[in-house]
Structure 1
Amino acid sequence: MKIGIHHRKGSFSDRWIEYLEEKKIPYVILNAFDNDIIKQIKDNGITHFMWHFNQNYFEDMLQARTLFRSINQIGIKTFPNEESYWHFDDKVSQKYLLEALDIPLVKSDVFYHQNEAEKYIENTSFPKVFKLKGGAGSINVKLVKTKQQAKKLVKQAFGRGFDAFDSWTVFTDTIERFRRQKTLHNFLRIIKWGGKGIFVDKQYKVFPKQRNYVYFQEFIPNLSYDIRLIVIGNKCYYLKRNTRNNDFRASGSGMLEFAPGKFNLEAVDIAFKAARQLNMICVAYDFIFDENDQPLVVEISYGFQPYVYDQCLGFYDKDLKWNKTDVNLEYEIVHSFLNAYS
């Protein structure tokens, strides 16, 4: 066994490398963007390849799936695996996948022709939640309160389209977070992300316009939080995310709680069962609860922000029992990946 890693500082690979060194498992750092990357993988005798590729980097989204699918053909195991990466950062793909597997999803509707979208608008109720396929932290999510708003979005979707990066939302969210939590960290965040909101970073400018489809999700009223559940192997980690002030969005709010409170534990059971159906080594779910307290998946992902989850206080096991312990999700990922494909 020899592990190849595409390393980016500040990603999962920081701790993947620490784990491999501690366990004395042979590894080599490779550049997935090298023209001769396939030759390097073969020459180094790589059996497993790991890359925490990121939806915010166009080159990652352009290259990662292509490379992984190619080396899968010669027997090399990858993290994420194909079942994890093909629908990554694509809410529309996830809609079809979760519906196919009968995993409880917030009701979602997608249309690829303007006339069909307009008919839907005339026959549905509002508000609805409008989303683009990609984007994290709620940056491409809008509450649509009226038919008139929906028609305007549909016209834009089948016309000039939408920027893949909602810079104004990033800017306003950053300011709101600083007003709520006046810390040095959040001040520096304003400088970084507020600047990206005003002067769109060049890495986002290369993403193509989002057009020729519209995606709506059912709006669940009176929500004050959602929960993030992350299943890795036989462990399910918990995080509560409170909604922004006078807003329905929880993702990206920065208002986090790590001690598990009372919630319908059926969500944990669903998370474990769905992970098996999805065949994902690591899967992060965003759950909300409807008016009958039934858990519904909003979206899924193989990846998430590193280090935040160090504050988790433990995990649920498959018997839905809470186990208090220190948490290092990156170690859990590489451990579960190598055990699954040893």
Structure 2
Amino acid sequence: MNLSRLKRAVSVRLLRRPDIREITYEEVGDEAVISDYIGDDELGDSSKIEKGKKYRLLDMIIDWPDSIEKPRVGLTMDHNSRPHWVKYEHFLKKNSIPYEVFDLRTSDWLDKARKLDLIIWSLDSGPWEHEEIKRKISIIENNMGIRSFPGLHEMMLYDNKLMEVELLRFYGLPVAETFISHSYKETEETIHRLTYPQVSKMSKGSTSEEVFLVESPKAAMKIARSSFSRYGRKSHWPCVRQKDYVYFQRFVEGDKYDLRILVSSNMITGYFRDCPDRDFRASGGHKVRKTDIPIEAIEIALKVFYHLSGSSIAVDMIRNAKGEYKIIELSQFTWSRTPVRMSVDGHPGFYLLHKDGKLEFKHGMFWNEDEILKAYFEMNYLSSPETWKKENILPVIEKGNLYKDLSACK
């Protein structure tokens, strides 16, 4: 724990002072020393990145027609140590999109919102903050006619593992076998029929918080009784509990990693997250490995993107002993630890999806926030998500003819 975090912990936990966090600012430019952000072994043995050398990042520029007026944007600011908002701001400036900082927390937020056409929410991590944002997105979209990034349908899905599983099942997508119930009677009757070990999860939470390996029906019943108790099951969040539901996902015996595929319109990246020693959880372990990603997993991610996303989505998967990829979680918004989003043979880059199913590998490094905003504006202002996906994604997933073009690596 660094000194600033220690001071905050003493102030909030011991002295019981208000938990007021300062906005973090981080300089974002067109160049970056990539070795400042990425580990020595993250790209494998054939890394093409030199330590201490500055690299030019890709310009995420929209070819904006003169006939379409650019929106007036309100940009919120988050409190994360690696803030989203500074990268969003960098993108808006590069594309000459008019914006102003929008303070969502003050009592006059409604009056300030009336002047805007679009509000970009830089998400904080707390569930209470998500509830505030969902309430306000509902008002600005449904009552004020103002657009929102993310949209309400995506915000409802964000950090909501229960809804993720239910929608993945609805669309027939390969989600890992999961038992979800809000009925104690059903839970009590079912627990002894599950195959163990199981993985218990709370609906909210990231980086493997509230994720536990459950070895037996007895352990599962202990979790169930706690969740269905008067006060619910305690979590690491100070004001959120797991109340009146269980989430048991069958433990997948397979590789000791999970795979994250990110789809933003027709740009696809991904990386592996290895499990730390003596741990079954890869998320939050910070053992990232950026090598080429399997085409079978890309096809699954494209199907999820088609059904559930308005511009971008991250799909977390694990491969079972049969070699099948199963979806374990989704995320609408991922933060940028590094501008290296993916690599093939040590070359940083991304896959560009063509309508004929070709995945063309292209060189380049960029911040994830730039990528997802570019996808959002192109799909929502220069087209519509439904039209764009029907023209660019549906033919690919219907024909199932994905193939890779890695000529750029030669």
Give the shorter-chain TM-score range.
0.7 to 0.9
Q: In structure 1, what is the equivalent of residue 196 of structure 2? A: 126
User: CA separation in 1, counterparts of 2:259 and 2:339?
Assistant: 13
Name the larger-Rg structure. Answer: 2
Cα deviation, residue 250, structure 1: 0.6
Instruction: Confirm whether residue 2 of structure 1 aligns to residue 41 of structure 2.
Output: no
Matching of residues 249-288 of structure 1 within 5 Å: 249-260=281-292, 263=294, 265-288=295-318
Aligned residue identity for 1:335: K
Q: Find the partner of 1:75 among 120, 142, 145.
A: 145
Structure 1: tracts of 5 or more residues without a match: 166-203
Count of residues in Structure 1 that have an aligned counterpart in Structure 2: 298
Aligned with 1:273: secondary structure? helix
Q: In structure 2, what is the equivalent of residue 190 of structure 1? A: none
Larger CA deviation: 326-335 vs 300-309: 300-309
**Cα RMSD for the two superposed structures:** 1.7
Q: In structure 2, what is the equivalent of residue 338 of structure 1? A: 377
Question: Any idea what the Cα deviations from partners look like across 1:6-62, whole Å, max 9, x if unmatched?
Answer: 0125322111111111222100111111222121111x3x111101223x3244222
Q: In structure 2, what is the equivalent of residue 316 of structure 1? A: 351
The question of whether the paired residues in 2 share the 8 Å contact of 1:243 and 1:253 is answered with yes
Aligned with 2:75: secondary structure? strand
- Structure with more helix by fraction: 1
Instruction: Confirm whether residue 163 of structure 1 aligns to residue 234 of structure 2.
Output: yes
TM-score where L is the length of structure 2: 0.69
Cα deviation, residue 310, structure 1: 3.5
Cα deviation, residue 245, structure 1: 0.7
Cα deviation, residue 280, structure 1: 2.8
Q: Find the partner of 1:35 among 86, 95, 107.
A: 107
Q: In structure 2, what is the equivalent of residue 188 of structure 1? A: none
Instruction: Confirm whether residue 145 of structure 1 aligns to residue 145 of structure 2.
Output: no
Aligned residue identity for 1:329: N
Matching of residues 176-255 of structure 1 within 5 Å: 204-205=237-238, 207-255=239-287
Instruction: Confirm whether residue 299 of structure 1 aligns to residue 370 of structure 2.
Output: no
TM-score where L is the length of structure 1: 0.82
Aligned with 1:247: secondary structure? coil
State the identity as a percent: 23
Q: Find the partner of 2:155 among 75, 85, 107.
A: 85
Q: In structure 1, what is the equivalent of residue 186 of structure 2? A: 116
Cα deviation, residue 238, structure 1: 0.9
Aligned with 2:340: secondary structure? helix
Aligned residue identity for 1:163: K
The question of whether the paired residues in 2 share the 8 Å contact of 1:269 and 1:320 is answered with no
Matching of residues 94-113 of structure 1 within 5 Å: 94-113=164-183
Q: In structure 2, what is the equivalent of residue 198 of structure 1? A: none
Structure 2: tracts of 5 or more residues without a match: 1-70, 343-347, 382-410
